[in-house]
Structure formats: structure tokens, C-alpha cells
């Protein structure tokens, strides 16, 4: 099997916990656990440090898992990443998955002031450096686990060969099917799925477009992946086409959301992490996750 960590079939993907005081964030983790979600996936950009945040959030629950979606390899060197990964894994056995990614050129060079290397080469070399990194602290009692933010075939192959699996982002079920074929049967496949709990098409797509504008067309990694899936420049040009919006963001009532999540599972996903949009108001966000829980879990 791919892993010891029990993520369950459905989890939460959100940046909203970063915007809550630490005490409130831990309370929300406990609520997600009580609702039945198997894992909470958190990003790393310009908010809390992903590894410190993982420790903070894990302390709020008893069995729910936390995964980074993703921790960027440009935020810390391989020695520091390995130390943080094993520290959190030792403190919370079987409840932490380290998701690693190469981020994006605009973030790495424009915000971090570092040089963005060729993604596949950079990740391959980083994983090798992690494997070689010394660690003389108390070791994890359960083998620590890592996955890659993989979209293209070669990065998925690297995820298959060097990690426990893949965490694709901004992908439709068609990509999940392709990813499963590349990963094989014994690696974790945990795609993220954006959702809008809104039945009015115009309102739902407007909410979706505001979030997708962060990614398309400005972040080439995502745009290139959709081109491989058959989306055109017309689809990717603002305003994004309905076809693209509907492929990436599931909207409608709870049954429509359940249908899309099930489509990922049918295509080969082990775990689907659901990101509720817009995700800016914590009360509205939690209302949506509460409504979805009885249907998805």
C-alpha cells in the first residue's frame, strides 16, 4: 500500500486557517475532525510557515491528518525540510503528509528573490538531497511520508518513483484518470477540487472566475497542464471560458458537488481534498463544509 497515514476519502483544502488566530484555528481543526473529514491540506505562499502551521493544526485534533499542499522547495533547503518533516512526523505519528512542490517562477523570483530552476531537475535533485540529509534527533516511529504536486507525466513519474504519490491541483477528473495510469495502483493520488455551493450559474461562475484569475493565465504550470488536456488559448484567455471554469470548479447543490468528487474517485483518486470558494469568510466557509459533510463523508 502507498501509505500508513489515513487521509480518508475526502478532506479539506483551505488557506482560511492562516487568517485565524492560532487558538481559533485549532478549534476549527477539531470541528473538521468531528464532521468526519479525514485531512486538512494547507498551502504555503505568504502566510504561515507550512511546517510550523502543520504542527499547530495537528495539535488541534486527535486523529485528523494534516498535509501540506504544498510546501515549496524554495522556502527551505533540503536539510531544513527533512528536519521539519521528521520533527512533525515524530510528534504526530501517522497523521502528517509532506506535500512538496516547485511553486511558480513569479513567486520564487518575484517574491522570494531566488532563481527558478527547471522544475523536474530541481525536484529530482531536491529529493536526492533530502534522502541524503543527516538527522540526529529522535526519529519518527512511523515512516514519514511525502508526495509531490505533480501535473505533467514526468513529474508524476518522479512522484511514483521517489515518493508516496501525488497531489494534483486545478485538475478535472480526466487528469485524475491519466495520473492514476502513470502512478500505478499503489501510490496515493489526492487531487484538489474547488467547489462553489451555489445553484445560480452566473453567480457560481463569477465566484469561480475570481479565484481562477489567480492561476490563469499567469501561472504557466497550470495553463500548460490544461493545454495537454485539450483546452485552447480561447479557453485560457480572460474571461476564462465556461468550459474551463466548469471543468475546474464544481458548482451547484450538494448533490452536484458529490457527483464531481465521486468522478475523481471513479477516475482513480484515493482521496479528494475539497476547497470551498471563495473561502474568505470563515463563517460562510464552515457553513458550506457543514452542509457538505453528510453528503461527502
Residue 1 placed within a domain: no
Distance CA 1, CA 21 (A): 37
Which CATH number belongs to the domain containing residue 188 in this structure? Answer: 3.20.20.30
Q: What is the reported pLDDT for 1?
A: 45
pLDDT digit string (tens) for the chain, length 297 residues = 455 689 999 999 999 999 999 999 999 999 999 999 999 999 998 999 999 999 999 999 999 999 999 999 999 999 999 999 999 999 999 999 999 999 988 888 888 999 999 999 999 999 999 999 999 999 999 999 999 999 999 999 999 999 999 999 999 999 999 999 999 999 999 999 999 999 999 999 999 999 999 998 889 999 999 999 999 999 999 899 999 999 999 999 999 999 999 999 999 999 999 999 998 899 999 999 999 999 999
Residue 120 placed within a domain: yes
Residue 5 placed within a domain: no
Structural domains counted in the chain: 1
- Asked if the bond preceding 239 is cis, omega within 30° of 0, the reply is yes
**Domain range enclosing 32:** 10-296
Residue 161 placed within a domain: yes
Residue 38 placed within a domain: yes
Residue 125 placed within a domain: yes
Residue 137 placed within a domain: yes
Query: Using an 8 Å Cβ cutoff, are 209 and 239 in contact?
Result: yes
Q: What is the reported pLDDT for 152?
A: 97
Distance CA 150, CA 112 (A): 22
Secondary structure letter of residue 240 according to DSSP? P
Distance CA 222, CA 240 (A): 13
Residue 135 placed within a domain: yes
Amino acid at each position: 500500500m502507498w501509505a500508513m497515514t489515513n487521509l480518508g476519502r475526502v478532506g479539506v483544502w483551505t488557506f482560511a486557517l492562516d487568517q485565524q488566530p492560532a487558538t481559533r484555528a485549532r478549534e476549527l481543526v477539531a470541528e473538521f475532525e468531528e464532521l468526519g473529514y479525514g485531512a486538512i491540506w494547507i498551502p504555503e505562499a505568504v502566510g504561515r510557515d507550512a511546517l510550523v502551521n502543520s504542527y499547530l493544526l495537528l495539535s488541534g485534533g486527535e486523529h485528523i491528518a494534516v498535509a501540506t499542499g504544498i510546501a515549496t522547495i524554495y522556502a527551505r533547503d533540503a536539510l531544513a525540510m527533512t528536519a521539519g518533516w521528521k520533527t512533525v512526523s515524530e510528534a504526530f505519528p501517522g497523521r502528517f503528509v509532506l506535500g512538496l512542490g516547485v511553486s511558480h517562477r513569479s513567486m520564487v523570483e518575484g517574491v522570494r528573490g531566488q532563481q527558478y530552476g527547471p522544475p523536474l531537475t530541481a525536484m529530482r535533485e531536491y529529493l536526492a538531497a533530502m534522502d541524503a540529509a543527516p538527522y540526529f534527533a529522535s526519529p519518527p516511529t512511523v515512516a514519514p511520508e511525502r508526495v509531490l504536486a505533480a501535473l505533467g507525466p514526468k513529474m508524476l513519474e518522479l512522484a511514483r518513483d521517489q515518493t508516496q504519490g501525488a497531489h494534483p491541483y486545478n485538475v478535472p477528473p480526466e487528469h485524475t484518470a491519466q495520473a492514476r495510469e502513470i502512478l500505478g495502483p499503489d501510490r496515493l493520488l489526492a487531487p484538489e477540487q474547488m467547489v462553489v455551493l451555489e445553484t445560480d450559474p452566473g453567480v457560481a461562475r463569477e465566484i469561480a472566475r475570481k479565484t481562477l484569475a489567480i492561476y490563469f493565465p499567469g501561472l504557466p504550470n497550470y495553463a500548460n497542464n490544461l493545454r495537454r488536456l485539450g483546452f485552447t488559448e480561447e479557453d485560457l484567455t480572460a474571461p476564462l471560458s465556461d468550459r474551463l471554469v466548469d471543468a475546474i470548479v464544481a458548482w451547484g447543490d450538494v448533490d452536484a458537488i458529490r457527483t464531481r468528487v465521486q468522478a475523481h474517485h471513479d477516475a482513480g483518486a484515493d482521496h479528494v481534498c475539497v476547497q470551498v470558494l471563495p473561502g474568505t469568510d470563515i463563517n460562510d466557509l464552515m457553513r458550506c463544509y457543514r452542509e457538505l459533510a453528510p453528503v461527502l463523508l
